[in-house]
Amino acid sequence: MKLMSLGNQPQSPSAIELLKTQHEEVKALFKRIEKASTRAAKTKLFDELAANLAAHDAIEREIFYPACEKAMGMTDLLGEALVEHGVVEFSLYQADRARKDKDFSFKCQVLSEIVEHHVKEEESDFFPKVQKALGKDKLQELGARMKARFEQAKSKDYHGALNSNLKQVLAGALKPSKRAPSSRKSTPAPAGKRRTAA
Ligand SMILES: [Fe+2]
Ligand SMILES: [Fe+2]
């Protein structure tokens, strides 16, 4: 007897359904941040956005992309997606550090545009190929694992994972490995005080 049965609703979404739903949630949060009238409201929404983005990044980097690479090899689309994750992480880091600054809105806007570009490529170019290569059953299995990992990652402070990934990306890694960050203070250099030419 299934106590939790909800009609014909599936137990968990497939990997692609899950990622698309999360993309919509992130897009909605960006809109809410843009419309929020006070700094406190913007910051509160940003906390939610950052936790969602970091957990989404974790399930793609740790589970989804490796499964795609196993089935399809390191394709151009996958390689570009991995590089873009580094760019999203860097942009998220910049916005996170600018919470109390005047340029917080600019940094949120750039983060939003980078995420939008990445999501568009994933959904229109990459996911259809993944759907064919992995098939329904594999995507269903991945979806369940990714959903569980998402909730776990979201419940933790994202700064440790973000800093660890960024350090590896800045050192040239395409695929940062999951490892315990040495310190919360081990922030990468470029987002600090150095100015870069436009
Ligand atoms: Fe992605
Ligand atoms: Fe994604």
Confidence of residue 12 (pLDDT cuts 50, 70, 90): confident
Burial of 165 (0-12, 13-18, 19+ CB in 10 A): buried
In the predicted structure, residue 122 carries a pLDDT above the cut 80: yes
- Whole-number Å distance, alpha carbon 1 to ligand 2 midpoint, is 36
Verdict on whether the full-model pTM lies above 0.95: no
pLDDT at 179 (0 to 100): 64
Question: In angstroms, how far is CA 100 from the centroid of its own chain?
Answer: 23
**CA–CA distance, 190 with 196 (Å, rounded to integer):** 9
The ligand with the least distance to the CA atom of 68 is 1
pLDDT at 166 (0 to 100): 95
In the predicted structure, residue 85 carries a pLDDT above the cut 90: yes
Check if the beta carbon of residue 30 is closer than 8 Å to that of residue 108.
Answer: yes
The ligand with the least distance to the CA atom of 88 is 1
In the predicted structure, residue 104 carries a pLDDT above the cut 50: yes
The dihedral through the CA atoms of 104, 110, 115, 120 has a sign that is positive
- Whole-number Å distance, alpha carbon 2 to ligand 1 midpoint, is 35
Question: In angstroms, how far is CA 74 from the centroid of its own chain?
Answer: 20
Task: Look at 21-25, 179-183, 191-195 and tell me which has the smallest mean pLDDT.
Answer: 191-195
The SS3 of residue 193 is coil
Domain segments of the chain as ranges: 15-170
Say which residue, 192 or 96, is predicted with more confidence. Answer: 96
In the predicted structure, residue 102 carries a pLDDT above the cut 70: yes
Q: What is the DSSP letter of 185?
A: T
- Whole-number Å distance, alpha carbon 197 to ligand 2 midpoint, is 30
The ligand with the least distance to the CA atom of 16 is 2
pLDDT at 9 (0 to 100): 56
In the predicted structure, residue 83 carries a pLDDT above the cut 80: yes
The CA-based dihedral angle spanning residues 53, 133, 14, 158, taken in that order and rounded to the nearest 10 degrees: -20
Q: What is the mean pLDDT of residues 35-49?
A: 95
Average pLDDT, the chain: 89
Which residues does 94 contact at the CB level (< 8 Å), separation at least 6?
107, 110, 111, 191
In the predicted structure, residue 136 carries a pLDDT above the cut 90: yes
- Reported as type and span, the H/E element at residue 106 is helix 104-121
Q: How far is CA 175 from CA 69, 94, 126, 184, 190, in A?
A: 12, 21, 18, 21, 19
- Whole-number Å distance, alpha carbon 41 to ligand 1 midpoint, is 27
Q: What is the mean pLDDT of residues 84-100?
A: 97
- Whole-number Å distance, alpha carbon 99 to ligand 2 midpoint, is 24
Angle at 55 between CA 5 and CA 26, to 5 degrees: 85
